[in-house]
Amino acid sequence: MMTLFQKKSVVGIEILESSLKLTYVELGRKNEILKLINKNVEGFSIDAPGFIKGTFADIKIKKTTAIIVIPSSLITTKNIEIPSCDPQEIESAVRLQTARYTPYSKEEVIIGHISIDKYQEKYTKVLLVIVHKDVISQGINILNKAGLETEKILFASEAIAYWHHSLFKTEKDPVCIVHIDSKFTDFIIAISGKPAFIRTIPLGRIHLSRIVNLYVKFKEEINNSLETYGKEGVGRLPEKFVLSGALEDLEGLEAFLRKNLTLPIETISYFESLKIPAAFKETGKLVSFLPLIVSSANYDKYEINLMPQEMKIKRLLEEKFKKVVKMGILIMIVSFLIGGIFLTRIYTKGAYLGKLRMKYQGLNEEAKEWTDAMIKIRIIKNCLALRGKSLEVLVELYKVIPQSIHFTNVTFEIKEGVTLKGTSKSMAEIFSFVNALETSSCFKNVKVKHTTTQRRQGEDLADFEASSALE
């Protein structure tokens, strides 16, 4: 049965001079740890990329996110204060101060920082993190040769501090985390889930499990680290120690520290807190997988990413390109859908119109016949109505025409009206005749177009032309 959503998997690697650690975590509602591997690569006696590729083939990994975790033993840290609370100004100040704390040039190192605390509203306490580019390049090249693309490069101590805070979210006071690995120990002062002070102690499980006399030196290293933290004024002193990491066969060390350290000690098994399957217990006896597992499970929640700047820019451009491509595809899909909807509507309306035409074709022909008949009837009615109109006009003219006026021409048109041409013995009779036409119920808008006088046969006569519309 297929799941609705495919789970995301993350591969984490940590590469030291003598060992290679590898974790494979499947992310989901319950992060599932599927593989823990610790391989001796001292002097690169094995082909690390080939080993990783072969491991993936064995557990059938096809597509996954890959991260690199850098331990504190390969990193230089420094606590500094920046006279600003603006993130961009802090970033610029960190880059300017890098040269003061490392013998390498800016081009040879990669830097990161964690903002720990702000005070007086204008200062920020910052943990500066510096790592040589060769360390980063080594891990990236191994993953590339193994066919994996590096997603992020994380700082182990930040993951450890985050893990402790996730267990005790209510704790706001500084806590000292003593994380023991195979060949070194992380001394971390964590404040609200962030590493505020870090020191690497060059004693690990291999040394402490074999030589009991090193317990005293280990205790002194812890006290010296705590004293250095206090002198640098990073924050308040912690109220307890948290002991974790590769604690197999170190019961004697725990009892010694409880007896000889001034602060109380709390021991936490990361195997139990992370619910790691018992099948991997043997693998995790000699080394600690805590930073790798926590980094893999929460790789998108950390401040520090030690990827080279050029790779970050390349990744950013690739992400933007992917977004543009996705947006273009989305626009095309939406355009096709809208076009399809319009075409479907046009086709549907056309088909419906065709059906209506077929359905009412006979009715249209019948309606046309009725329309033609109505036009003929209207014409006949108009003809019948106008048949006696000319007689009515002549009768009305006969009623009002004086005996002294003689018509020489009478033109009758239904639309144009009546045009009268004639002769009168005087101009007064012409205007009297026009007034009589105006009062008639048959004529309207009577106008005299022109008049002329002339003498014929010893008598003065007036010729005229008048027009009138019909009521």
Measuring CA to CA, which residue among 64, 51, 43 is closest to residue 296?
A: 64
Distance of alpha carbon 206 from alpha carbon 185, whole angstroms: 11
Q: How many CA atoms lie within 13 A of 386 on its CB side?
A: 13
Confidence of residue 380 (pLDDT cuts 50, 70, 90): confident
Residue 325, pLDDT score: 92
Distance of alpha carbon 245 from alpha carbon 261, whole angstroms: 19
Q: How far is CA 293 from the centre of its chain?
A: 30
* Amino acid identity at 240: K
Measuring CA to CA, which residue among 407, 471, 470, 404 is closest to residue 432?
A: 404
Mean pLDDT of 346-362: 83
* Domains within the chain, CATH numbers bracketed: 8-307 (3.30.420.380), 389-470 (3.30.1360.100)
pLDDT digits (tens, 9 = 90+) for 319-331: 889 899 999 999 9
Q: How many CA atoms lie within 13 A of 304 on its CB side?
A: 31
Say what the pTM is: 0.68
Residue 65, pLDDT score: 86
> What six digits make up the tokens of 262?
């001034």
Residue 5, pLDDT score: 43
Mean pLDDT computed over every residue of the chain: 85
pLDDT digits (tens, 9 = 90+) for 397-424: 777 788 788 888 888 776 778 888 888 8
Q: Is 241 helix (H, G, I), strand (E, B) or coil?
A: strand
pLDDT at 43 > cutoff 70 = no
Q: Is 308 exposed, middle or buried (0-12, 13-18, 19+ CB in 10 A)?
A: middle
* Amino acid identity at 24: Y
Distance of alpha carbon 59 from alpha carbon 49, whole angstroms: 16
Greater confidence (42 vs 26) lies with 26
Q: Whole-angstrom distance between the N-terminal and C-terminal Cα of the chain?
A: 94
Residue 265, pLDDT score: 93
Q: Is 263 exposed, middle or buried (0-12, 13-18, 19+ CB in 10 A)?
A: middle
DSSP 7: P
Of the listed ranges 20-29, 79-88, 174-183, 241-250, the least confidently predicted one is 20-29
